[in-house]
Structure 1
Amino acid sequence: MSLFRKFVHQKIFNERGVTLVELLVAVGIFLAIILPLSSIYISGISLYDRTRIETDLQNETDFILSNILNTVQDASYFELPNDSFDPTRHNTLVAIFKNSLAGKSLLPPEDEGKSRDGLITYDLKLAYDTETKKQQSMLKRTFYQFPQLSSGDSQSNPNITNDSNNVWKTFKHDEGYVVGGLFTVTEHNDKLTIYLVVAPKGKSGTIRNGQKAEFTDLNDVLHELNRLQTERKSLASSDNEPLHFIRFVKTEFAVNNMKNG
């Protein structure tokens, strides 16, 4: 009799389908498997995207430095201006490079006053004058600075005559980046030091990993550095977190065509 009851009970149970408890258990097991996998997938995408941005940032920085080096080496000689082309911009750059997040002693105090936001190249060319039948020299002066307009556009300065022998240019760069830099030379004019900051350009204000990922200009970069600096003073755990979307470079190279006097 007991076997019959067991058989009937089993048949009835099987025919009524899945109970609510069983359904909830199944859903719970499903979520327990899917949610961690989804989290890992999303985290992987975020890491890949951040790594891509950082790699592009590094490549752009290398391109700009290479362009500056070629510009200086291809010139007959070069010099730094007596004063920065844009004092306000210069002060912003000094504040950026002095920020602790840019690296300790990135811009030494003794170099602040000597730094300039651009440089001047001179190209000496010889041309044969058919009338005088003599070689004549022509000197072209080019004023280079980091972009305020579009890359490669001619700049202007009310104190300088802008003609074929006096031209203003910006260093070549990808217009998708905010770029700024300062220059110094050693006492003996044998080394040129470049301080460079590069960051993605945009107006979205996207925050990734607690850091701003796009910037409108250098002032925006400085504001973010100050924000992170203040935040990290109160959160010791994030002190060692590197900057992912602002890249700093200090590099120097030997020169032998620095103008003297």
Structure 2
Amino acid sequence: MPRFALKIEYHGGPFAGWQRQNDVPSVQGAVEAALARLEPGPHTIAAAGRTDAGVHATAQVAHADLTKDWDPFRLSEALNYHLKPDPVSILQVAKVADDWHARFSATDRRYLFRLISRRAPVTHDKGLVWQVTHDLDLEPMQQAAKHLIGRHDFTTFRSSICQADSPVKTLDALDIEAFDIPHGREFRFHVRARSFLHNQVRSFVGTLERVGAGSWQPADVKEALVAQNRAACGPVCPPQGLYLAGVGYPDDPFVE
């Protein structure tokens, strides 16, 4: 059976998350239903990461095994036709080796978090960003983020329902940029690691926002990390600003 890698973009608002669930819409369920329109199912696809309810993706990766040796472009066109009107798009399809796995072959995952600071409610980006109405200072957040880089026990920034075997992870990058928008500023958090704990990125951003607002000092983030105690974490920010923005592989199947 030929195996295909799928690069997927989606708006997470209408879904209960990536993972298929009974009686609620999911991104996985939408893609599998589209596959069933092309070939008899049932179909089970595997993804690089399981995003939560309300979380978006600009470059999720999954793989599917099919019976027909599809032309990758025609497969992407057919899937996009059957995915309508769901806010899910197959950006690219590539044929991969039988042992290639969207999750286990991945070497890193990259997330983007968008945070807007302005008084007036957002309109065009509603549901796509986290908005706060107070000012934020970029430099203290950047200083605080440096304490999180590297290999640490991230118990403080781990959800109580996280199923990972260990809270020890290596954070490769946490870069923050800011730029002006009409009547406000947008802050973008770029985070990269091989793997993440449940709610880790949202815990980072919620805590760093407190630093930008002046309620925490950069050194407080280091103390929270060292505490290895969930109670030491700052607020966990809402999901709508979070995007799975890329997945790395030793040989990227989407590079021609």
- Could you tell me the TM-score, scaled by structure 1's length? 0.25
The TM-score normalised by the length of structure 2 is 0.25
Q: Determine which structure has greater relative contact order: mean sequence separation of CA pairs < 8 Å that are 6+ residues apart, divided by chain length.
A: 2
Larger proportion of helix: 1
When Rg is computed on C-alpha atoms for both structures, the one with the higher figure is: 1
